Amino acid sequence: MTTMSDLPQDLTKEIFSRVPLTSLSAVRSTCKSWNSISKSQVLCESAARRKQFLGFMMKDFSVCSMKFDLQGIQNEADFVDPSIKQVSVLDQVEISQIFQCEGLLLCVTRDKSRLLMWNPYLGQTRCIQPRNTFLSGDQYALGYDKNRKHKILRILGDYWQIDHYQRGVSLKGHTYFLAKEKIRIGGTNNNIDCILSFDFTTERFRKLLPLPFKSHYSNKLLLSCVREEQLAVLHYNWVMGQALEIWVTKKIDPGEVSWSKFLRFTSSCIGHIIPGSFFVDEEKKVVVVVDQDYNRRIVTSRNQSAHILGPDRYFKSVNIGETRYIGKRSKHGYMISELCRPRVCSSYVPSSVQLQTNQPVKSEESEN
């Protein structure tokens, strides 16, 4: 009698390439051979060959899986709209922030009452309660030390001036933030944009790293990573020609960083967009910028779009749904809107790290 383990390996790999991210745990339990194949991360290898981006994003205070096929971007007949599906295991709680570290996701609840750790590959979740209380202005990150022991960083206070919309990026266990260094020059306080990193082995912030450009206070800066191997920074200059540039690190060490320019677009090519998050596909030389559509907002909702930027001034916008304005009235009667902007994590790689629910999570708190 033929069993699942008797299927040809090529067919099994094709099956894995079509499995939704959130169904990996169920597939693993089918048989021992499938469990072994999943551990070798055939899913991601197959997805890479198919030129797909697999990851997670925030949408209307929900966590969604995202599959984006970049194969047909130069041929409209072959282009496939991205697939975005809400994660059912987290649909009973509203999430305001997500952070990814090599296959593990750290989720911050909208009411700031707790944190949730989630391993989509193993289908495990873990609730983390605060020592005292979580504050609305707290910043979080997830990383690991030289022994690959995972830890959560919680930043209290605003010494580094990390803007509320900025999110930490995990790279080889370390966490990187876009921050502003306070410098006093000639009796005037100045804020210089830079990269702040945290080492989870020494449990210390490291030397500030420079950006490859000078930014203006009105510029938009965003941080991302490429396959969790390189940092990428988006610089949208509203002053000098409204140019959008993407820079990628060539080298990054504790005290040194070098950059190369990956892509540059001007406003005449892309129109007016408000970058919220982005990811990079180096092989196809493509950048996908995700955010609300500035020009199509209405009273109760705003379109969310994925803007695809590629070689030879290639530009395409794809509607990925609507987001709601969720507001409340101030004591003076004005409506204060609370908008959950779509945020995309870096490409997803399955992790076999077990979430041990009976042991406390190490949380590093910084009050810088």
* Per-residue model confidence (pLDDT) at position 345: 83
Q: What is the mean pLDDT of residues 62-78?
A: 75
Return the higher-pLDDT residue of 45 and 22: 22
pLDDT beyond 70 at 326: no
Determine the length of the chain.
368
Q: What is the CA radius of gyration of the chain?
A: 21
> Is pLDDT at 280 greater than 50 in this prediction?
yes
Q: Binning pLDDT at 50, 70 and 90, where does residue 329 land?
A: low
- Smallest CA-to-CA distance from 250 within 212, 297, 290 is with 212
Domains contained in the chain, CATH given: 1-50 (no CATH), 51-363 (2.120.10)
Q: What is the Cα–Cα distance from 321 to 8, expressed in whole angstroms?
A: 39
So what's the pLDDT on residue 262? 94
Q: Looking at residues 160-166, what average pLDDT do you find? A: 76
Average pLDDT, integer, range 144-173: 84
Percent residues over pLDDT 90 in the chain: 21
Q: Is 100 exposed, middle or buried (CB count within 10 Å of its CB: 0-12, 13-18, 19+)? A: buried
With a cut of 80, say whether residue 16 has pLDDT above it.
no
Mean pLDDT of the 260-270 span: 78
Reply yes or no on whether the pLDDT at 337 is more than 60: no
Is residue 196 within 8 Å of 254, Cβ to Cβ?
A: no
CB 280 within 8 A of CB 226: yes
Q: What is the pLDDT of residue 255?
A: 79
Q: What is the pLDDT at residue 261?
A: 94
* Mean pLDDT on 96-102: 89
Q: How far apart are CA 237 and CA 124, in angstroms?
A: 42
Residue 267, pLDDT > 80, answer no
Mean pLDDT of 356-363: 50
What is the reported pLDDT for 203?
94
| Structure confidence at residue 293 (pLDDT) | 66
pLDDT band at 148 (very low <50, low <70, confident <90, very high): very high
pLDDT at 96 over 60: yes
Query: Strand 363-366's sheet: what is its strand order?
Result: 139-144, 150-155, 363-366
State the maximum Cα–Cα separation within the chain, in Å, rounded to a whole number: 83
CA 169 to chain centre: 7
Q: Among residues 51, 21, 347, which one has the least CA distance to residue 171?
A: 347
pLDDT over 80 at 146, yes or no = yes
With H, G, I as helix, E, B as strand and everything else as coil, classify residue 119. Answer: strand
Is the model's pLDDT at 364 over the cut of 60? no
pLDDT: which is higher, 292 or 281: 281
Q: Tell me the average pLDDT across 35-46.
A: 55
Output 298 or 126, whichever has higher pLDDT: 126
pLDDT of residue 230 exceeding 60, the answer is yes
What is the Cα 280 distance to its own chain's centre? 11
Q: Which amino acid is it at 188?
A: T
Weakest-pLDDT range from 178-192, 193-207, 217-231, 315-329: 315-329
Residue 79 has pLDDT above 90, yes or no: no
Residue 11 pLDDT greater than 80, yes or no? no
Nearest to 366 by CA among 179, 127, 96, 147: 179
293 token code pair = 């559509």
DSSP-assigned beta bridge partners for residue 302: 323
Residue 314's nearest CA partner among 265, 276, 355, 250 is: 265
C-alpha 91: how far from its chain's center? 19
Q: What is the pLDDT of residue 233?
A: 95
pLDDT band at 360 (very low <50, low <70, confident <90, very high): very low
Q: What percent of the chain has pLDDT over 70?
A: 68
Instruction: Tell me the pLDDT of the chain averaged across its residues.
Output: 77
Provide the pLDDT for residue 155: 85
**DSSP string over 248-301:** EEEEEETTEEEEEEEEEE-HHHH-S----EEEEETTTTEEEEEEE-GGG--SSE
pLDDT for position 209: 93
Output the CA angle 195-199-201, nearest 5 degrees. 175
Query: Which long-range contacts link 289-294 to residues 24+ away (Cβ below 8 Å)?
Result: 289/234, 289/244, 290/57, 290/320, 290/342, 290/343, 290/344, 291/341, 291/342, 292/323, 292/339, 292/341, 292/342, 293/317, 293/319
Q: How many CB atoms lie within 10 A of CB 204?
A: 11
b/e burial code for range 167-200 (CB count within 10 A of at least 16 → b): bbbbbebbbbbbbbeeeeeeeeeeeebbbbbbbb
